Amino acid sequence: MRRIFLACLISACSLPFLCAQDADAVFQFLQLPASSHAAALGGDNVSILEDDVELAYHNPALLTNVGGRMLSLGYMNYLQRTHTMGASYAMPVGDRSMLGFKAQYLDFGAMKHTDTGGNVMGDFTAKDMVMMTMYSFDFSDRLSGGVSGKFIYSNYGQLSSLALGVDLGLNYYDADKMLSLSVVARNLGGQVKAYDDLQEPLPFNLLVGVSKGLAHAPVRLSLTLTDLHRWRAEDFYHSGDASWKSLLLKHFIIGADLFPTASTYVSIGYNFLRHDQLKNEARRSIEGLSVGGGIQTQRMRIGVSYGKYHVAASSLMMNFAVAL
């Protein structure tokens, strides 16, 4: 099983280099975070190990760290009258594997339908949703793998689209060194039904992450490398600076966790690509910054984070989970 899974992951990582990546991908809502903890660490962390089912949305291999049956609910305000909601559930299957289910919903609310002359013809609604089945298993005491199957649906008035996707992930953890390493291939797949008979790719992302706890301080540092299948200047938005240093930084997400007590954490992160996408003429560095914190006990988890994922607004995310 280990060899089969590794072969699938290697093939998945190679696929984007064989396919055209210039077209704009659909279902961009899949890029939004689902875990408030991952969101606080820059928006997309794939390597922290916690008893948190929401982290499996970012890396399905992390599902094995959930201690038992868990139910989690999440909410984030995205734009004006636009918000995301989600629910996740995980349960053990045997001694070395976990099974999980997740639904994520993005609601844009009601909007005015106008003709070419600006006359109001009525209202229409717009929404995105993804339903996932997640499975993870321990190859050994240090190595785990996971896979997520996705059913993706979007509806914008009279237009709709369906797609099927897959996430593949691996995690290696050395408890003695407090070192976690992960690799994730996300959003493999394609549209089953296009919006207007024009097939468009899913927002594929290849990520590598490392998290390291410090031996003599209640601190954990994280580095995530994102969009590793894209290295050309024209593949990035607002890439006016095409120097190798600028292109390299656009792949970096850095984060740090501070644990004031055994049951609390405070997190901060910085996403260099998001800063480049959202910066205004004043080039404010705060555009890539995110912060958060939470309480985690044996029976309950509460997390909150603040970040910016769109130029028009900032977002507050909350997660609440309970062990069943």
What ranges make up the beta strands (E) of 56-119?
70-79, 82-92, 97-114
For 11: left if phi > 0, alpha if psi spans -120 to 50, otherwise beta; the answer is alpha
Tell me the whole-structure pTM to 2 decimals.
Answer: 0.87
Q: What is the mean pLDDT of residues 174-179?
A: 96
Q: What is the model's pLDDT at position 206? A: 96
Give the tokens for residue 203.
Answer: 């927002």
User: Which has the minimum average pLDDT: 10-19, 116-125, 130-139, 187-196?
Assistant: 10-19
CATH of 2-17+26-323, one of 3.30.70.260, 3.20.20.220, 3.30.230.10, 2.40.160.40: 2.40.160.40
Identify whether the C-beta of residue 292 lies closer than 8 Å to the C-beta of residue 61: no
Q: What is the model's pLDDT at position 233? A: 56
Among candidate residues 215, 205, 167, 217, the one with its CA nearest the CA of residue 5: 167
* Identity of residue 231: W
> How many CB atoms sit inside 10 A of residue 40's CB?
29
CA distances from 284 to 47, 125, 295 (A): 28, 34, 31
Identify whether the C-beta of residue 74 lies closer than 8 Å to the C-beta of residue 319: yes
User: Which has the minimum average pLDDT: 165-169, 193-197, 201-205, 230-234?
Assistant: 230-234
Identify whether the C-beta of residue 146 lies closer than 8 Å to the C-beta of residue 60: yes
Q: Report domain extents, the chain.
A: 2-17+26-323
Identify whether the C-beta of residue 271 lies closer than 8 Å to the C-beta of residue 42: yes
When the pLDDT of each residue in the chain is averaged and rounded to a whole number, the result is 86
Q: What digits encode the pLDDT tens for the residues 279-309?
A: 764 455 578 899 999 999 989 999 999 998 8
Among candidate residues 240, 230, 318, 321, the one with its CA nearest the CA of residue 34: 318
Q: Which residues pair with 252 in a beta bridge?
A: 225
